[in-house]
Amino acid sequence: MSGQRGSSAACSHRNTFAALEVERSAEYRDDAAWLAAQRAAPNARFVVFDAEQRAPVRDDRLLWLDARAVPAQARASLLGLDGDAPVFLLHDLGGVSLPDAEWITLRDAGLRLPSSEAGLLAYARGLANWQDGMRYCSHCGGDLHLISAGHRAACARCERLHFPRTDPAVIVIVEHGDACLLGRQAMWRPRQYSTLAGFVEPGESLEDAVRREVREEAGVKVVDCDYHSSQPWPFPASLMLGFIATAAAREIHLADGELEDARWFTAQQIVDGVRRGDLRVSSPLSISYRLIEHWLLARAGIVLDEVAREAPGA
């Protein structure tokens, strides 16, 4: 079934936040002497966020702090090595100021920064999100403290270890014949449609999650699905796992109330709708956009970026 579905590896690298060039260097996370030397190294770089979780940029490039700008007592977590340059997440800005910086959200970073910098920020933000929630042990209520260069939390009372969590979610473009299934939630901006998505539940395979979500949200039976690509989505801790699925039939029943509308769109209907402004697809930031892009190209030879450029207000 997957003859025209293209290379997953190539597609995955195009997903925003998926292009991390930093080597995580996990084997050094418990080496205190190595960490101290790296922290003080002249080529060390520190990623920072402000209290609103925004990152500093200048001319659409990420601004780093170097070791001279970072107080010796400031808490920092090792993100890894960029070539031979150690990269850290600085936990708070303290008294450090960046007068010329423009502070932007991670979503804006995904649209504006080079892919490797957006990927690094997503990694740093995901780790910081987890650390921010690690105050008390979920087992005994004791105080937690970070160990392993910020990648583990240990309980001071029961010594239990806590690990960063990632929440897998499936996202799927469902096709039947010459059309694909897109849906919209009532809270979205008008005329926006997206691929269907939902969190994976305990004890569930990814394929079963695809079948369940499509059935629950649209009442459509999936008979087959193939993996496409993945995208880190640290808002706060998701990993989006993209699939292309085939439906048994086109009848739609909005079963669980999550969607306000779901429809089958042919490639031409997507093109016409986007050009006229009757249809908005998700941001190019999202794997939803990449799945629709992939489907249009594979099924109709249409390049979504070119169509989107012709949209009103694009």
Binding site residues, Zn ion, CB under 5 A? 137, 139-140, 142, 155, 157-158, 160
Rounded CA-CA distance 277/269 in Å is 12
Compute CA distances 198 → 22, 100, 239, whole Å: 29, 40, 11
CB 161 to Zn ion: min, Å: 10
- What number of other Cβ atoms are within 10 A of residue 149's Cβ? 24
Q: Between residues 20 and 137, which has the closer beta carbon with respect to Zn ion?
A: 137
Cα–Cα distance measured from residue 217 to residue 212, given in angstroms and rounded to the nearest whole number: 8
Phi (first) and psi of residue 125, to 5 degrees:
-65, -40
Task: Output the smallest distance, CB 136 to Zn ion, in A.
Answer: 8
- Nearer of residues 37 and 158 to Zn ion, judged by Cβ: 158
Radius of gyration of the CA atoms of the chain, in A = 22
Q: At a CB cut-off of 8 Å and minimum separation 6, what does 40 contact?
A: 67
Minimal distance, residue 135 CB to Zn ion, in Å: 12
Q: How far apart are CA 192 and CA 277, in angstroms?
A: 10
CB of 155 to Zn ion, least distance (A): 3
* Least distance to Zn ion, CB of residue 126, Å: 24
CB distance 47 to 69 below 8 Å: no
> Could you give the CA distance from residue 141 to residue 155 in angstroms, rounded to a whole number?
9
Residues in Cβ contact with 45 at an 8 Å cutoff, skipping those fewer than 6 apart: 64, 65, 66, 82, 85, 86, 87, 88
Closest separation in Å from C-beta 131 to Zn ion: 17
Largest CA distance in the chain: 63
Q: At what angle are helices 287-300 and 267-276 packed, to 10 degrees? A: 120
**Taking the complex as a whole, how short is the minimal distance between the CB of residue 147 and Zn ion, in angstroms?**
14
d(CA 228, CA 291): 8
Q: For residues 154 and 296, which CB has a smaller minimum distance to Zn ion in the complex?
A: 154
Nearer to Zn ion, 160 or 176 (CB): 160
Q: Which is nearer to Zn ion, 6 or 164 (CB)?
A: 164
CB of 128 to Zn ion, least distance (A): 22
